[in-house]
Amino acid sequence: MLYSALNEALTHLRSTDQAATTSASLLLSGIPENLAVGITLIDQPGLSITALAGSIFLANVPEAAGATKVLCQRGYTRRAIWLLWSTIIVLLGAAAVVGFLAFSSTDPFVLGYLRCFTAGAIVASLALDVFPRAFQTNHRLAGIATVLGLLLAIALNQVG
């Protein structure tokens, strides 16, 4: 619910500076995702962590590329764009470290709740941002791509 409320606030700002709000949206969705990565580090094998981090990275690349294109069109310098994305990467990396350090001694039962919370934020970001954009871009393939993504996630989970 928190993600949805903050995302709604960003939506109202999006009309003024789409690139900036897209960057903020990536940060907003990335924090719970990277907290999940940090929490996953606590008791999961390395392959599970790699699969989770890789899927998060791949899910965000198209959105980041689109925002970068808009930033270039609006006259932002390469240096400013690199600084923006570097800052976001550092903050998201810090979220993973915080997720690990803050919750490494947490009771497994509580960890389950934390994983549910971060999973809910990830699902909310998919439902509010990724799925609608995919449908707008190519509504015929959006469903197939979603199913293939789910199957890939299940397969990676089985391997890990």
pLDDT of residue 153: 77
pLDDT in tens, 77-107: 999 888 888 888 888 888 888 988 888 888 9
CA 28/CA 3 separation, integer angstroms: 7
* CB 58, CB 116: distance < 8 Å: no
pLDDT in tens, 46-81: 666 676 677 677 667 777 777 788 888 888 899 988
Domain boundaries, the chain: 2-125
Model-level pTM? 0.65
CA 60/CA 130 separation, integer angstroms: 9
pLDDT in tens, 115-156: 888 778 777 777 877 778 778 878 888 888 888 878 887 887
